[in-house]
A and B are shown apart, each in its own frame.
Chain A
Amino acid sequence: MTARIQVPREARRGDSIEVRIVIQHPMETGFRYDSLGRQTPRNVIHRFECRYGGVEVFRASMGAGIAANPYLRFFVRAEQSGDIECRWVDQENASGYASARVTVNG
């Protein structure tokens, strides 16, 4: 699973930094049928989490109501330089990882 994460490279201590991530995933609802009339099994990224400097800062529990190629935008307060790491897993147990480093000044 490929993903694109966007985080500012530098931030001032105490500022809220914007984290944006798009993950390539069909978020299969389980309500679709293929050309032979077989139901496509449901497979969505149901769990997403973000850690900053090793501490969990944000977690999402998602269902088929989240659009394909899920996009998330949220904020993290800059405290010290470190990695912003995102991990996710779908219902077929396929997992993904994306990270970005942020340097905190001041």
Chain B
Amino acid sequence: MPDGRRPRTLAARGARRRALAALVALFALPRRALAQPIMNPAPGVDARTINTPQGALQSILKGAAMRRGRVRLELPSAAENGHSVPMTVRVDSPMSEADYVRRIDLVSEKNPVPLVASFFLGSHMGRAEVESRVRLNGTQRVTALAELSDGSFWFDAADIVVNESACLDGG
């Protein structure tokens, strides 16, 4: 080996290529795919104890599917700071005895506790609309998930740019 390189047998080259390909594939995976929990939490698990947004959603859905529509989440597109951001959720529902919204959950992508709040509604409300003010830890997507009386789940998501996060000191 005049140039000091290791002997390059065919088998050694193959093994190195495979290792390299595996490494490249790992980095090529979307980061989200790695962050997602592999299993749904057990039924009855309190979503507030789950520290991933996907986990919080799954603990509410318990395996059911959610569809986009019927829900409207209103957030400003940008906020100077995340300490107090106005938020309104509206669900297209007659709010009658036969067809009403049972529950609305708000899930944040970046807050230390992803489940911001759960609202429990009923046919006595007349209108499926709730407004509040939320804390947001940075620029992110917020999801509002509604469960209707027929057991179906609907959602809407809104993106917001937050210049100064909540959860910093003074917040």
Measured CB to CB, the residues of A under 8 A from B are 15-17, 27, 29, 31-33, 52, 55-68, 70-79
Q: What is the distance, in angstroms, from A92's C-beta to the closest C-beta of chain B? A: 17
B126 touches A61 (CB 8 A): no
In the complex, given contacts A73-B130, A77-B126, what are 14 additional A-B residue pairs having Cβ atoms less than 8 angstroms apart? A16-B127, A17-B126, A29-B135, A31-B167, A58-B122, A60-B119, A62-B117, A63-B117, A67-B83, A68-B83, A74-B131, A75-B129, A76-B125, A78-B126
Complex alpha-carbon distance, A17 and B124, angstroms: 11
Chain A contacts for B112, CB-based, 8 A: 31, 64
Given A31-B167, A66-B135, the answer on whether A16 and B126 have CB atoms closer than 8 Å is yes
* Interface contact A65-B124, CB-CB below 8 Å: no
Docked-complex contact A65 and B131, CB < 8 angstroms: no
Contact B133 A60 (CB under 8 A): no
A–B Cβ pairs within 8 angstroms, 14 of them: A33-B169, A57-B125, A60-B118, A60-B119, A61-B120, A63-B48, A64-B135, A65-B113, A65-B116, A65-B136, A66-B133, A66-B134, A76-B124, A77-B127
- How close is A56's CB to chain B, nearest CB, in angstroms? 8
Report how many residues on chain B are interfacial, defined by Cβ distance under 8 Å: 35
When chains A and B are docked, how far (Å) is the Cα of A20 from the Cα of B106?
19
Bound state CA distance, A17 and B136, in angstroms?
Answer: 29
Point out the residues of chain A lying under 8 angstroms from B127, CB to CB.
16, 75, 77
Q: Provide the residues of chain B in CB contact with A59, threshold 8 Å.
A: 119-120
* Dominant secondary structure at the A interface: strand
**Does residue B59 face the partner (Cβ distance < 8 Å to A)?**
no
Residues of B within 8 A of A78 (CB): 126
Selected from B120, B125, B133, the residue in CB contact (under 8 A) with A67 is B133
A58 CA / B121 CA spacing, docked (Å): 5
Q: Which residue of A lies closest to B113 (CB)?
A: A63
Closest to B133 in A: A67
The smallest beta-carbon distance between B137 and chain A, in angstroms, is: 9
Interchain CA distance A5-B134 in the complex, whole Å: 19
- Closest chain B residue, CB of each to CB of A63: B113
Q: In this complex, which of B118, B135, B170 has the most chain A Cβ atoms within 10 angstroms of its Cβ?
A: B135
Residues of A within 8 A of B171 (CB): 29, 31-32
- Interface-central residue, B83, B113, B170, by most chain A CB under 10 Å: B113
CB contacts (< 8 Å) of B169 on chain A: these are 32-33
Q: Flag whether B115 is at the interface (Cβ < 8 A).
A: yes
Assess whether B85 is interfacial by the CB under 8 Å rule: yes
Q: Give Cα A29–Cα B133 distance, bound, in whole angstroms.
A: 15
